[in-house]
Structure 1
Amino acid sequence: MAKKIAFKGFSFACSALMVLAGGITTSAFAQAQNVDQPKRFPQLTMENIAPQSKILAQEIVAISSVGLSGPYNVMLRSPVFAERMKRLLDYLRFETSLPKRLNEFAILIQGRLWTSQVEWFAHYPLALKAGLPASVADDLKANIRPRGMQPDEEVVYDVCMTLSQQHEISNALFDRAKAILGEQQLVDLVAVTGTYVTVAMLLSLGEESVAANKALPFPEKGR
């Protein structure tokens, strides 16, 4: 019988994403977003962004399916931070030692812990494309410890969940994770799951959401 898992201390409906090129412009995405109330951070565009952030903005638009919306609309309020965060995200998404299937699973775990519309919407298809079984992702979404996980997926789940909820892991879990992933992959796992908490906070701060014409992954949370 599937065991229900407890998600503690995460009540914001937001999160992070960095999606490969998808062909939607910043203005188009902004127009599609919920317009019932003004955004906390007015939408940045290539026309109104600070001069020192122009080059970075061009790099973001080249790879991001949300253009300068989503987390970038918040991050770019602090240009130096945004530039360094972008470099970190580049590593964690495209250069990390962790297999993409496991990397996306770690991101989805934070998406579920934060009940994040944005993160789940963006990374669910990426996780499946990378080889994560839909049944594992769907159990996670349903607040169930995923059934049928491979040993490396179990380690990712246990490390991310335990650190997020208990803020420490046992020697036994550490030894199991190190044996399965190795030192570098284990460190990269913690780096990606922790970084996506930061991005989740940024999205929560800005109340950024998915496009209004898209179904919410967690409709009970609303927009």
Structure 2
Amino acid sequence: MEQKAGEPRLPVVDVATASPEQKRVLDDILNGPRGNLAGPFLSWIHSPELAQHAQKLGAFCRYHTKLSLRLSELAILCTASKWRAQAEWQIHYPIGIDAGLDERNIELVRLGKEPKFALREEQLIWELVEELYETKRISEPLYKEAEQYFGVEVLVNLVGLLGYYALVAMTLNVFQVRHGDGPLPFEG
């Protein structure tokens, strides 16, 4: 049977027939801070060892970076926009808005346009993501400002968060994962 465009590429793992390794990972995810299998987990579960390592890294990146939820969600949404990751955007957009992000600026991020955040910390997150994705580096002036503003540990955690959510975005895109039935945020 031929794969239809936009349909998920991987079969859904049935918990009843899952391997013991898969069941352990599914239990860890469902009993962890997320409590659900949204996003990349049903793709990663086809490789239980990868799934276990990735979900643990993801829990740290999502909940323990010492960034506020608002700033973490902004970094995730910037990454989702860069990768045009449908499900990543669909999952994190409402969380970001509930965390206090400005809808107009987030729409500009989705469209790949420059936002004008009122708070320097938000603009700084956007600038870091933008420069990193465009140049694959962070210039010395921007690095120094970010280091001074966030501190070394949080800046390292932010880079880890961006890398993790790039992995999530690649997974979602390759395996055509969607979230819900609403309209897709990105064309194509």
TM-score computed with the length of structure 1 as normaliser: 0.76
**In the alignment, which of 105, 110, 114 is matched to residue 79 of structure 2?**
110
The amino acid that maps onto 1:82 is A
Aligned to 1:28: none
Q: Work out the CA distance in 1 between the residues paired with 2:128 and 2:6.
A: 39
Runs of 4+ with >6 A deviation: 35-38
Q: Deviations over 1:50-71 (max 9, x none)?
A: 2112122023234344x3x631
Aligned to 1:22: none
Q: Judge conservation of contact 2:80–2:89 (CA < 8 Å) in 1.
A: yes
SS of the equivalent of 1:47 reads helix
Q: Work out the CA distance in 2 between the residues paired with 1:173 and 1:133.
A: 23
Q: Judge conservation of contact 2:83–2:170 (CA < 8 Å) in 1.
A: no
Q: Percent identity?
A: 28
Aligned to 2:133: 164
Give the Å deviation of 1:151: 0.8
Give the Å deviation of 1:148: 3.1
Question: How many aligned residue pairs are there?
Answer: 183
**In the alignment, which of 117, 122, 125 is matched to residue 148 of structure 1?**
117
Bigger helix share? 2
Aligned to 2:183: 215
Q: Deviations over 1:73-126 (max 9, x none)?
A: 211121111111111111111122111111100000011111121011110111
Aligned to 2:89: 120
**In the alignment, which of 188, 201, 204 is matched to residue 157 of structure 2?**
188
Q: Structure 1: where are the runs of 5+ without partners?
A: 1-34
* Cα distance change, pair 36–59 in 1 and its aligned pair in 2 (3 A): same
CA RMSD of aligned residues (A): 1.9
Aligned to 1:32: none
TM-score computed with the length of structure 2 as normaliser: 0.89
Q: Judge conservation of contact 2:86–2:185 (CA < 8 Å) in 1.
A: yes
SS of the equivalent of 1:179 reads helix
The amino acid that maps onto 2:90 is F
Q: Judge conservation of contact 1:162–1:169 (CA < 8 Å) in 2.
A: yes
Q: Structure 2: where are the runs of 5+ without partners?
A: none
| Residue pairs, 1:131-146, within 5 angstroms | 131-146=100-115
